[in-house]
Amino acid sequence: MRAFSMRILLLISPWLLGQVEAIYNPHIEYAGPTFFDKFAYYGNVDNTTWGNVTFLDQTDATAQKLTFINGAGNAVIKVDNTTTLTAGPPGQAVNRNSIRLTSLDSFGLGSLIIIDALHVPFGCSVWPSFWTYGIETEWPLSGEIDIIEAINNMNNNQIALHTVQGCQQQQLTPPAQTGNTLETDCSVPRGCIVAQPADSFGAGFAANGGGVFALQMEVSGIYVWYWNRAALPPNLQSATSSTPIDTTSWGLPSAAYPSGPSCNITQFFPPQNLVLLTTLCGVWAGVPSIYSNTCHTPTGDCFTDNVLGDGSNYVNAYWEIRYIRTYLSSNAIPSGSSSSSPTSPSQTPTGGSTVTQALTTTIASAPTVAPPVSSATTWRIPSATLLALAGSFLLWML
């Protein structure tokens, strides 16, 4: 049986290797003076995760210097940290100003998204996220991918997918990722979560000079990598906006969501728009039992101890981004762009980057019939994940 298994593995390996999609060509770059030109500003209160913020439109954000390009040429996206807020009368909302950006362009399977961030917002009450969602239908029917998301004084990032029922993260042996899976069902309120190591978020991330995150969306699956500044692959260290990217040297991803019987990626993830925001408190960071895990403030109340006051709590509540670069493979599924804002309140996902329990009834009733898959489909598998799949096959045959 062992000899037979090895012969089978040797036979299938050349076929699998021939299906790997590793080269991605430059598509759209968000960087320098034009960074904000291809984003829409939300211009509304946080009506998705119920945070204590008002997301400004572009005119007010620019005037209040909450979005700008700094002297180093990097994009800065801030929470207001200079305005003094006091509690209003009962029933009156008091919000601090912040920013939510959504890309005018969408990105389909066959896309690679890379963000180089020197600083990500952190601190008590702070809830930053860089994620994607499909705007074709009501959220979460078109899926969501959380690339960067954590809260308060956490020290590690969490990657997650959000879908309707029918998608679960497949667990491979040996593992196809370096991260730690906390939840496999992508339709539950918190999504299918993979935790990254310490210092992938928070003060440690900033002290280390930030890092780079990469999202690969393929018919074969969704994969996310993270590297701290000292561990960047050579091809990312030398990359420019016009350099093709080869992913074969990247090793295992931080999180792997391979497509298969447990989750048909083509079904659940049509073209995705990029979203970058920072909210405060809300239905995750502001929950008392969660807030108290990393924040020990005078009253223990997220809003009272942070949002109110002179804003000095938010000195670290800013993004500093060198670039966001997008790439397409030769087999990329066509996506699109919009000259109008995709983020008006009527079009926004009803659950934001965290699903509330109230949505579970709607989620449960959503259709989950997979579309037909053409026999001509090319399955593109990252090389490291390919080895894990081959290893799993061999173990099964032994």
Distance CA(105)–CA(332), nearest Å, equals 14
* pTM assigned to the model: 0.83
Candidate from 140-154, 326-340, 345-359 with smallest mean pLDDT: 345-359
Is the bond into 349 cis (omega within 30 degrees of 0)? no
pLDDT value, residue 332: 83
Nearest to 85, CA basis, from 74, 94, 77: 94
Q: Which helix (H) or strand (E) holds 289?
A: helix 288-294
CA pseudo-torsion sign 55, 57, 61, 63: negative
Residue 320 annotated to the active site: no
Q: One of 144, 183, 218, 320 is an active-site residue; which one?
A: 144
What is the average pLDDT score of the chain? 84
pLDDT value, residue 20: 45
Distance CA(234)–CA(253), nearest Å, equals 16
pLDDT value, residue 334: 72
- Which distant-in-sequence residues (6+ apart) come within 8 Å of 273 by Cβ? 102, 103, 105, 106, 107, 132, 133, 134, 135, 342
Q: One of 149, 183, 218, 320 is an active-site residue; which one?
A: 149
Q: What is the pLDDT of residues 284-319, one digit of tens each?
A: 999 999 999 999 999 999 999 999 999 999 999 999
Beta strands 126-133; 272-280: pairing state: antiparallel
- 97-120 average pLDDT score: 98
Residue 149 annotated to the active site: yes
Distance CA(168)–CA(161), nearest Å, equals 9
Distance CA(257)–CA(223), nearest Å, equals 6
CA pseudo-torsion sign 225, 228, 233, 234: positive
